[in-house]
Structure 1
Amino acid sequence: MLILYGSQTGTTEAYAKIVHSFATARGLSPRLLVADDFNPDQLVHEGVVIFLTSTFYNGEFPSNFSRTWDYLRATTTSLPSTKFAVFGLGNSHTKVNFNAAAKVLDARLEQLGASRLIPLGLGDEQAPCGHETAFRPWIQHLWVKLLGGHGKMTLPVQFHISTPATDAVSVSRTLPGFDGFRVVSNTLLTPDGYERPTFLLTLELPAGVTYQLGDHIQVSYNNSSDLVERTASRLGLSLDSTIQLRPIGHGGYLPVDTPIKLEDLLRDYLDLSSPPSRSFLEGLSALCADPDEALALEQLAEDMTIGNLYSKYVGGNAAFRTPFTLVDVLELHPSIQIGLHHIVGNISLIRPRYYSVCSSPLQLPHHVQVVYMVDTWHCGNDPNKLFMGAAAGYMSRLVPGDIVTSSLSRGYFRLPTSLETPILGVALGTGISFFRALLQHRAYHQDQHAVVSKMRLYFGIRHAAKDFLFQNELQTYVNRGLLELVPACSHDSNEFVTPVTKLRDFPNSVAEYLDNQGVYFYCGIGGTIPYFHEAAIQTALQTVHKSTLGSEMETVDEMKVTGRWQVEAFSSCLDHENALQHQQKVQTKKEDTPISDVVGDCAMFCFQCGQTNQGIGCT
C-alpha cells in the first residue's frame, strides 16, 4: 500500500499520516511519500495507491504534487493492475475550483485504467466538522474495502524507545532550508492591557539571504514549559530522563539513534499544542481501562452531527472555550494507559507557522518584519486558567539577540508589472501586512520620481483607538497621494461595520478602480469571508453599471482568470491562538439577515488564524 500526498502548509500531510498510522495499526504495510518524491513511472508496479491532495485557490495542485500530475496528465502508460482511492481537501466556497485537483486526479487515474477502490472523497473546510465530515466515512469505507471491516485497533508503535547507559547529547532541531534569524526588536503595537496584543517583530536576515515583496516567513517555535511539564507528569516520566529512539519505519525529522533528554523531545519536536485528531482519539479509546471513558472517547471521535462535542472543543466558541490539547485529553481521562511509545510517531511534529512579511526589501534590504497577534484568554470552565497560543506565545517572549529558526518562501500574490496599475484592497486585522509592504515598495519608487497609481484600501479592525495598526504610517501614504484609506471599525458603534459595509456604501469608488484595469487584493481570514467581499463588489459594480448580477459575476470570474483578482485567504478552521469566533447572533425576527451582518462577536480580524491547531493553512 502506497500513500502519496500533496500538501502546501501541512494539512493534507497530517491527514496522510493518519491514513498511514491506522493502516499500520490494521496490519497493513503502508509507505508514505510526498507525491513528487515518488517516481511516477513506478505506479504501474503498485497494487494499492492512496492519494491525498489539497487544491489551491485557482484549482492548482500543491507544489509538491505538480510534477506527478504533469506526468499523469501526459503519460500514455496504462495502470491495469493498480487500485486507487483519492481524498481531496478543499473549500466549497471556491465554487468551480472546489477540490478541483482531487477531481481531475481521480478522473485521470480511471482514464489510465486503474481500478477505483472507493468513490472520491471530497473534504470541505466549510462542512459542519470541516474536512472530517467527509474524511471519517471515507476512511472507514477504505478499511471495509481493503480488510472487510475496520474493527477495534490501538495506536501503532512507530519507535522503539530505550533508556541508554550513555549521557544525553544536546540536540538542536534542524529543518531543511531554515536559518537562524536574529531578533532586532519586538515592539507592541497595541495599547497595554488590550486583550488582543499585536506585535511588530523585526528580524535580521542571515548572510546571503534575501527576500521579495509579498514573501512569507515560516517561524519555528517551541512548546511552552507548562505543556511540557504536564505531559511528562501524565506519562509518569522525569524531564531529566535520557531516552533513545529507534525507528521501526521512517524516523522523519526526529533525533533517532542518539541519547537525548525527554525534555528536549517534548519541547522542541512534538506538537503538544494542537487538538488530537478524531482518529487519534479513537486510538486512545482502546487504551482506556475504564469502559465508560473508552465509550466517551469513541463517541467524541465518531460523532459528526452539527454541534457535536469535538467541534465545540476545537471551535473556539466563546461560551465553551477550553484548551483541548493531548495532555488535556489525558488528564480528563485518567484511565488511559499510555506510554511515550504511543505518542512518538502518532502525533505531528511541530510545524513552523506562516506569516506574511510586512516590509519591503527596497526599504529594509537586510531585515524582515512580521506582524502577529497574541490571543490570550481565560478558560470558560476555569477562569483562573490562562491560555496563550503556542506560536504567538513563543514569539511574544522573544527579546533582541534571540535567534529564531525561520525560512522565507514566495507569497501567493503576483504583483502588476506597472506601478500605474490601480489597486483595490481589503485587509482584515494583521492582513495589513502585505499592504504595508506594498505601500513601502511604492513609496520607494515614488521617491525615485516614478509615476505611481493610488491604492484604495478597506481596513477591517475592531477599535480605532486600539488596533488601528500602523495608523500614522498609513496616514503618510495618504498625504503622499499613494493611498485612499477606508477604515471599518466593527466594535466602535452599535452597527457592526466591516469592509463589506464600506464596499456596499460607496459603489462608485469600487467601479472607479476596477473599471480602469485595477487589481483586487484580499488579505484576511478564509472560509466564507472572502466571498462576502466578492458579493459586495459584484453588487457595487451592478449598481454603477446598471447591469445584472450575473454579468458582474462573469466580470469577476474574468478578473480571476487574468490575475486581476487575487485572494490570500487563510483557513476559517478555528483554533485557540487566533480564533475566528462564529458567534452568529441571528435574531429571531431577522432570520434572513445576511451572515456578513450577524457575525458581530466574531474575532475575525486576524489574518494568520487557522494554522495554529491542526496545521491548516492557505486554501
Structure 2
Amino acid sequence: MDNRRLLILYGSQTGCAQEVAERIWRESKWLHYSGPVVAMDDYPIDKLIFEKKIIFVCSTTGQGDQPENMKTAWKFLLRKNLPSNSLTNVEFAVLGMGDSSYVKFNHVAKKLYRRLLQLGGKPLCNIGLADDQHDIGAFAVIDPWIDNLWTALLEKHPLPKEMVLIDRNALPPPRWRVQILNDDDSSSTNNKLPNADLLKTNSTTLNCLSNIRTTALNHFQDVRLIKFEYTENSLKYSPGDVLMVRPVNSENAVNSFFELMKENLKTELNRNSMMTVVQQSPDMPVPYNLSKPFTLYQCAKNHWDLNIIPNRYTFQLLSYFTNSELEKEKLQELTTAEGQEELYNYCNRPRRTILEVLSDFPHALANIPLDYLFEVFSPIRPRAFSIASAPSVHLNEIHILVAVVRYKTKLVAKRFGLCSNWLAGLVSGDKIPAWIHKGTFKFPYSRSCNVIMIGPGTGVAPFRSYVYESTTKGSGDAETLHLYFGARNRFGDFHCVNDWEKLVDDGKLTLYTAFSRDQDHKVYVQHVLNNRGQQLYKLLTSQECFVFVAGNAKDMPAAVRTEFSNVFMKYGNLDSVESEKTIEQMELKGRYQTETWS
C-alpha cells in the first residue's frame, strides 16, 4: 500500500461523524495524504489487514449501540477466531462522537479502541471523546484532537525529501467543484434535488393527518402531537423506535440567505441559477442528493442548514477569504485555543446562526468562491423523534410529540429550531420523506415484569407507544405498568392527558404526576419517586423489574438515578457503593435504560 494512504472510516446515525471524517480528509492534504472516506459497512472489512493507517470516527446510539452503518463491520471485528496479530501492521486513531448525559458515553469508540489494540493495532494518538454537552459542543474535543493527529503523523511519518510540507495555514481544497450551467445544459433537468432519504432501508413518504397543539394557548411552550399516515407494509416499527426526518429551511431563512448574498450573486448567480456538483477526487464521491443539476434556490431550501451555529473550522475558512485585515485578525483570533472563550460568547452563548455570522464578516462573504459554499454551509442533518404511537393500535399511523423550539437570546432576532418549526408548520395532506431507526429502548412484553417509566415533558412519547402496545397484547396493566409524568401545569402542558386518563380508568396503567408550578413549592418527578420509595423498592425486588427514563438531559436523569440509589440504600440496607453497583448491574442487563437529549 502507498505510504501516503490514509483510510478514513465512519459510523454515524445522523451524519455528524461523516462530516468530521470529511473534514479530516480535506485537512490531510496538508500532509499529502490520500485515501477514501467510507462508512464502515461500505468498506470490505476483511481488507483492513492490508491498510497501514486508518482513522475511525464513530458515534454511539441507544444503550451503547453501534450506528446502523457500522454494525456489520463491528460484528466482523468481534469474531473470536481473528488472530491477535491481525492488525500488527496497522496504525489507527479513534475519535468518538458522544453525549455525556448518557451512562454509556462514547461506548462504541471506547470498545472499538480496545478491540483494535487486542488485534495488534498501534494507536497513532490517544482516543478522542467528543461531548455534545460541552459548552462549545463536540468541537471542544474534535479540534485539538485533529491537531494532535497531524502532529503525531508528521512525527512518525515525516514527508519524503521530494515532498514539501504544505503550509498548515493554507486554504484546504474543497471537496467538489461546482459548475454553473447555461440554459442548454440544464434544459433536460427536472429542477429538483434527488431525495436520498427515500433510498434508505425502511423509508417511505408520510402523509400528515393532523397537527394538534397539546399545550394550552397561554402556555409558554408550543408542543404538538403530529399524526402521519403511511401505506400498509411500507414501514415497520416497534415501541422504542425513532422516526427520522430531514427538515427544510423556512422561506424567511431562504430569503435572508439571498438578501445576504446579493453582493456575491449579482454578477453571475440568482435563485434560478442551475448548478452541478462535480467529483474532483475518487476518494470523495458526490452524494446522491447532489448528483443531479439543481438550482441555487433548491440548495438553499433543501440542502444547506441556514440555521446552524458555526464551529471553529468555519471561522478558519472565512479567514482565508476576507480582504479586510480587521476581519482576518478577528477570524484568526476566534480559531486559536486562547480565543475559544470569546468564540463561545460570540457564537454559542447567543446561538448565532451561520447567516448572522456571515453578515458580521461582509468582506469574507463577498469573496467566498462558489466551490467553498459547500464547505462554509453544512448540510441539513436528519433529526430523530421518539415514536408515540403503537403499531397494533394506531394502524398504518405514526405519531410524534414535538416541542417547538423558540426562545430569545441577547440578539434581537428570536431563535427558531429548524426542524421543530418546520414540523409545526405541516398541515393535513402535507407529505414528507421519513425512515425508521431502531430505538434505544428495548421494552419487555411479559406479565412477570414490573415496568417503571419516568417521562417528564415530551419524554413521555415512547411510553405512550409502549403502554398501548403492551396493554393491547395483554402483557401489561395497572399492576405492572407505572408511569411517572412531570410538567409545569396540569392544565398547561399535560401532554396526551385524555390517553392517560382513559388507560387509568380502564385499569391498564398506574399514573403518578408532578406539576412543578401548581403549588407554592416546586415538585418534580424525582420528588414523587422519593415519596413512593417503599412501594418502589417492592416493585424493584418482588419480580423482574425494568426502569426506563426519558427526557431532557440537563438535570432530570441524574436526579432520578439518585432517587433510585436512595431507595436501595434506605429500604435495601445497602451503602452508596453497593447501591450504585446494583443500578449498574441493572444497566448491564438492560433493566435500567435511559434516553435523553439536550
Q: Counterpart in 2 of 1:173?
A: 194
CA distance in structure 1 between the aligned counterparts of 2:225 and 2:89, rounded to whole angstroms: 56
Secondary structure of the 2:328 match is helix
Q: Counterpart in 1 of 2:288?
A: 253
Q: Counterpart in 2 of 1:590?
A: none
- How is 1:377-526 mapped onto 2 (pairs within 5 angstroms)? 377-382=407-412, 385-445=413-473, 453-516=479-542, 517-526=544-553
CA contact (8 A) 2:477 2:507 kept: no
Secondary structure of the 2:363 match is coil
- How is 1:42-441 mapped onto 2 (pairs within 5 angstroms)? 42-56=47-61, 58-74=63-79, 75-76=82-83, 78-92=86-100, 97-147=104-154, 151-165=168-182, 166=184, 167=187, 169-174=190-195, 175=197, 176-177=199-200, 178-209=203-234, 210-235=236-261, 236-237=264-265, 238-248=270-280, 249-256=284-291, 258-303=292-337, 308-312=341-345, 315=348, 321=350, 323-336=351-364, 337-344=367-374, 347-382=377-412, 385-441=413-469
Change (3 A) 1:314 1:364: farther
* Deviation digits for residues 338-375 of structure 1 (CA, Å, limit 9, x no counterpart): 13311225643222211111111121111111110112
Q: Counterpart in 2 of 1:575?
A: none
Structure 1: unaligned runs, 5 residues or longer? 573-619
CA contact (8 A) 2:386 2:400 kept: yes
CA distance in structure 2 between the aligned counterparts of 1:207 and 1:439, rounded to whole angstroms: 23
User: How far off is 1:89 after superposition?
Assistant: 2.7
2:27 maps to 1:15: no
Q: Counterpart in 2 of 1:539?
A: 566
TM-score normalised to the size of structure 1? 0.84
Q: Counterpart in 2 of 1:606?
A: none
User: How far off is 1:128 after superposition?
Assistant: 4.5
CA distance in structure 2 between the aligned counterparts of 1:518 and 1:73, rounded to whole angstroms: 30
User: How far off is 1:132 after superposition?
Assistant: 2.4
User: How far off is 1:451 after superposition?
Assistant: 6.5
CA distance in structure 2 between the aligned counterparts of 1:355 and 1:60, rounded to whole angstroms: 17
CA distance in structure 2 between the aligned counterparts of 1:272 and 1:397, rounded to whole angstroms: 18
- How is 1:569-580 mapped onto 2 (pairs within 5 angstroms)? 569-570=596-597, 572=598
CA distance in structure 2 between the aligned counterparts of 1:353 and 1:124, rounded to whole angstroms: 18
CA distance in structure 1 between the aligned counterparts of 2:441 and 2:433, rounded to whole angstroms: 24
CA contact (8 A) 1:420 1:452 kept: no
* Deviation digits for residues 459-479 of structure 1 (CA, Å, limit 9, x no counterpart): 121222211111232112222
Structure 2: unaligned runs, 5 residues or longer? 1-5, 156-164
Secondary structure of the 2:228 match is strand
Change (3 A) 1:373 1:107: closer
CA contact (8 A) 1:2 1:30 kept: yes
- Between the two proteins, the alignment pairs up a number of residues equal to 559
- Letter of the 1:268 partner, please give it: N
CA distance in structure 2 between the aligned counterparts of 1:299 and 1:491, rounded to whole angstroms: 45
Secondary structure of the 2:288 match is coil
CA contact (8 A) 2:455 2:550 kept: yes
CA distance in structure 2 between the aligned counterparts of 1:454 and 1:397, rounded to whole angstroms: 38
- Letter of the 1:82 partner, please give it: V
Secondary structure of the 1:263 match is helix
CA contact (8 A) 1:243 1:261 kept: yes
CA contact (8 A) 1:153 1:283 kept: no
* Deviation digits for residues 252-291 of structure 1 (CA, Å, limit 9, x no counterpart): 13333x4321101111112222112222222222222223
Change (3 A) 1:438 1:30: same
CA contact (8 A) 1:162 1:243 kept: yes
Change (3 A) 1:234 1:85: same
- Letter of the 1:360 partner, please give it: A
User: How far off is 1:441 after superposition?
Assistant: 2.1
- Alignment partner of 1:557 out of 584, 592, 595: 584
CA contact (8 A) 1:93 1:528 kept: no
Identity of aligned residues (%): 25
* Deviation digits for residues 400-436 of structure 1 (CA, Å, limit 9, x no counterpart): 1111111123222212130452211110211111111
CA contact (8 A) 2:94 2:128 kept: yes
Q: Counterpart in 1 of 2:161?
A: none
CA contact (8 A) 2:477 2:508 kept: no
- Letter of the 1:142 partner, please give it: L
Greater mean alpha carbon deviation, residues 547-556 or residues 425-434? 547-556
Q: Counterpart in 2 of 1:577?
A: none
CA contact (8 A) 1:91 1:527 kept: no
CA distance in structure 1 between the aligned counterparts of 2:120 and 2:485, rounded to whole angstroms: 52
CA distance in structure 2 between the aligned counterparts of 1:254 and 1:5, rounded to whole angstroms: 19
Name the structure where helix makes up a greater proportion of residues.
2
